[in-house]
């Protein structure tokens, strides 16, 4: 038994340790205001304080810390994207993930599982080979594997998928992992808090004050704050914040749902994705199956769940794993995905001086949490976009310079 635990047990006082302070009032001014206490906003605050010495920072959250998409996602972490810009960016994130638990002194339950993207058609197999070659060229472990390899790794799978979508092979990505999403938000939050950052929950940003083409302050449900720099990291709420400053963007919002089963005996080690069947799936350390599918088919800006989704996903799950027929679904939920036309994020400086964006994270931004914090803190501190995010700039659409990430990001997580 660790000494610390023994001492705690024998002591008379058992204080409840808090992850972070609850600051009483807002200060009249901060060097930087971050909107959104999701993983992205908190990570940016953490690296601003740790790496750039900028500590007079407020993170404002309208609900509770980690209650947005950070606490709603299916936690798949991988870097087997299709474009060199994407692969480099996500691979840097993967490197950061590996040291994060030590950095935080907090168990993130980071669990490397291996990640299969199943191919049911020749065309899909061709894309897998293409992705594998791009990945290998950039030093990322990926390979196109045949049906026998898939069957060996996942013995319970029905390789015929009920006869209508036989599995021909897959893209196998050994570093694919899952992690505990809440702990990521808490770890970044505590690390930022200890370095002087203030986290204000239940504090909604209602307006942004602009004078002479630059940011001078924000209005909140608890009063006004002066600040020269605002970082907007609000995922599905991005268009509402952009409306406050009169910027137009291609971001559109659809709900993305997910569900989880009761805990069953461990039988599935790797993470499985099938683009054709619109399914992705992993089994947690506790034994629950965490399952997701594609976006809701039309624009929705609220987090309701639908029976259509549960039915559709269950049907495809049974194509892959008929033996799950009696397993119960225990929870279903949704988050708001901020989608972009090229399935890549929109990050960095904007035409408005002092206003920085970390957005367009749609259905794929959890894995990017650490690298977004790193690159956005650099961008906010220096006023210039970090080299890793140049392909994701706000004005790329106006220049018709989109990225080509669509093939790898749409349902692959």
Partner 1 sequence: MKLMNCPLNGPRPVLEFAFGGELRAMPDPDRASDAQWADYVWNRNGAPGVKREWWCHVPSGFWFIAERDTLRDVVIATYPCEAVLR
Question: Can you tell me which of 184, 253, 277, 352 binds partner 1, judged by CB under 8 A?
Answer: 253
To partner 1, the closest distance from the beta carbon of 366 in angstroms equals 21
Question: Can you tell me which of 94, 100, 242, 371 binds partner 1, judged by CB under 8 A?
Answer: 242
Q: Is 296 in the site for ligand FAD (CB under 6 A)?
A: no
Query: In 3D, which of 261, 246, 410, 243 has the Cα closest to residue 337?
Result: 410
Query: In 3D, which of 320, 325, 244 has the Cα closest to residue 279?
Result: 320
Q: Which window, 125-133, 230-238, 246-254, 378-386, contacts ligand FAD (CB under 6 A)?
A: 230-238
Reduce the DSSP state of residue 226 to 3 states and report it. Answer: strand
Q: Closer to partner 1 at the Cβ: 196 or 250?
A: 250
Q: Which partner from the list partner 1, ligand FAD, none does 234 bind, CB cut-off 5 to 8 Å by kind?
A: ligand FAD
Q: Which helix (H) or strand (E) holds 280?
A: strand 279-283
Q: Is 43 in the site for partner 1 (CB under 8 A)?
A: no
To ligand FAD, the closest distance from the beta carbon of 230 in angstroms equals 11
Q: Which partner from the list ligand FAD, partner 1, none does 39 bind, CB cut-off 5 to 8 Å by kind?
A: ligand FAD
To partner 1, the closest distance from the beta carbon of 322 in angstroms equals 24
Q: Closer to partner 1 at the Cβ: 99 or 401?
A: 401
Question: Can you tell me which of 192, 208, 234, 289 binds ligand FAD, judged by CB under 6 A?
Answer: 234
Binding-residue pattern over the window 310 to 339 for ligand FAD, x denoting contact by CB under 6 A: -------------------------x-x--
- Tokens 């629950």 locate to 288
Q: What is the dihedral of CA 229, 26, 377, 252, to 10 degrees?
A: -70
**Which residues are 35's β-sheet partners?**
60, 232
Q: Which residues contact 79 (CB under 8 A, 6 or more apart)?
A: 87, 90, 91, 93, 94, 135, 140, 173, 175, 367
To partner 1, the closest distance from the beta carbon of 248 in angstroms equals 4
Question: Can you tell me which of 123, 160, 308, 383 binds partner 1, judged by CB under 8 A?
Answer: 308
Q: Is 246 in the site for partner 1 (CB under 8 A)?
A: no
Q: Closer to ligand FAD at the Cβ: 129 or 278?
A: 278
Alpha helices (H) along 144-203: 147-153, 181-194
Q: Is 300 in the site for partner 1 (CB under 8 A)?
A: yes
Return the structure tokens found at 180: 């505990």
**Which residues are 211's β-sheet partners?**
214
Strand intervals (E) in 10-137 = 32-35, 57-60, 76-77, 111-112, 115-119
Give the angle 153-92-146 at the CA atoms, nearest 5°: 25
Asked if 355 and 230 count as a contact pair (C-beta separation under 8 A), the reply is yes
* Rounded-to-integer distance, Cα 31 and Cα 228, Å: 7
Q: Is 115 in the site for ligand FAD (CB under 6 A)?
A: no
Q: Which helix (H) or strand (E) holds 146?
A: strand 143-146
- List, as one string, the DSSP characters of 24-91: SS--SB-SEEEE--SHHHHHHHHHHHHHH----EEEE-SS-TT-SGGGTS--EE----SSHHHHHHHH
Q: Which partner from the list partner 1, ligand FAD, none does 367 bind, CB cut-off 5 to 8 Å by kind?
A: ligand FAD
Q: Is 315 in the site for partner 1 (CB under 8 A)?
A: no
Q: Is 206 in the site for partner 1 (CB under 8 A)?
A: no
Measured between its terminal Cα atoms, the distance across the chain in Å is 39
Tally the C-alpha atoms within 13 A of residue 172's C-alpha that lie toward its C-beta. 18
* Rounded-to-integer distance, Cα 122 and Cα 333, Å: 34
Number of residues engaging ligand FAD in binding (CB under 6 A): 38
Q: Which partner from the list ligand FAD, partner 1, none does 256 bind, CB cut-off 5 to 8 Å by kind?
A: ligand FAD
* Rounded-to-integer distance, Cα 32 and Cα 179, Å: 29
Q: Which partner from the list ligand FAD, partner 1, none does 286 bind, CB cut-off 5 to 8 Å by kind?
A: none
Q: Is 370 in the site for ligand FAD (CB under 6 A)?
A: no
Question: Can you tell me which of 21, 27, 137, 304 binds partner 1, judged by CB under 8 A?
Answer: 304
Q: Is 301 in the site for partner 1 (CB under 8 A)?
A: yes
Interface residues with partner 1 (CB under 8 A) are 238-240, 242-243, 248-253, 297-302, 304, 306-308, 338, 341, 397-398, 400
Which residues here bind ligand FAD, judged by CB under 6 A? Answer: 35-41, 60-63, 67-70, 72-76, 204-205, 233-235, 237, 256, 258, 292, 335, 337, 361, 363-367, 413
């Amino acid at each position: 038994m660790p000494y610390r635990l023994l001492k705690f047990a024998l002591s008379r006082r058992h204080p409840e340790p808090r992850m972070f302070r609850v600051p009483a009032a807002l200060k009249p001014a901060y060097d930087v205001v971050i909107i959104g206490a999701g993983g992205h906003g908190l990570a940016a605050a953490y690296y601003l304080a740790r790496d750039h010495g900028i500590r007079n920072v407020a993170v404002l959250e309208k609900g509770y810390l980690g209650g947005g998409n950070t606490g709603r996602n299916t936690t798949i972490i991988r870097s087997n994207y299709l474009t060199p810009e994407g692969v480099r960016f996500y691979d840097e994130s993967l490197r950061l993930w590996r040291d994060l638990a030590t950095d935080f002194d907090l168990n993130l339950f980071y669990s490397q599982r291996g990640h299969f993207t199943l191919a049911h058609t020749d065309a899909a197999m061709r894309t897998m080979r293409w992705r594998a070659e791009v990945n290998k060229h950039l030093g990322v472990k990926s390979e196109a594997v045949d049906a026998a390899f898939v069957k060996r790794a996942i013995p319970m799978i029905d390789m015929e998928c009920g006869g209508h979508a036989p599995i021909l092979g897959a893209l196998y990505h050994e570093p694919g992992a899952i992690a505990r999403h809440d702990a990521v938000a808490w770890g970044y939050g505590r690390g930022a808090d200890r370095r002087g950052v203030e986290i204000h929950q239940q504090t909604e940003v209602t307006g942004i004050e602009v004078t002479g083409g630059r940011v001078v302050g924000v209005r909140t449900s608890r009063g006004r704050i002066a600040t020269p720099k605002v970082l907007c990291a609000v995922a599905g709420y991005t268009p509402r914040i952009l409306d406050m400053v009169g910027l137009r963007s291609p971001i559109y919002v659809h709900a993305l749902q997910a569900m989880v089963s009761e805990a069953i005996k461990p039988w599935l080690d790797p993470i499985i994705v099938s683009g054709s069947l619109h399914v992705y799936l992993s089994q947690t350390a506790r034994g629950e199956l965490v399952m997701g599918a594609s976006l809701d088919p039309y624009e929705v800006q609220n987090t309701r769940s639908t029976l259509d989704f549960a039915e559709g996903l269950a049907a495809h799950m049974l194509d892959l794993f008929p033996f799950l027929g009696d397993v119960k679904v225990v929870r279903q939920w949704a988050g708001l995905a901020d989608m972009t036309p090229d399935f890549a994020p929109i990050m960095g400086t904007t035409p408005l001086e002092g206003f920085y964006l970390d957005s367009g994270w749609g259905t794929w931004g959890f894995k990017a949490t650490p690298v977004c914090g790193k690159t956005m803190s650099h961008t906010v501190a220096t006023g210039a976009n970090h080299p890793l995010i140049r392909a994701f700039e706000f004005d790329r659409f106006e220049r018709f310079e989109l990225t080509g990430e669509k093939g790898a990001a749409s349902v692959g997580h």
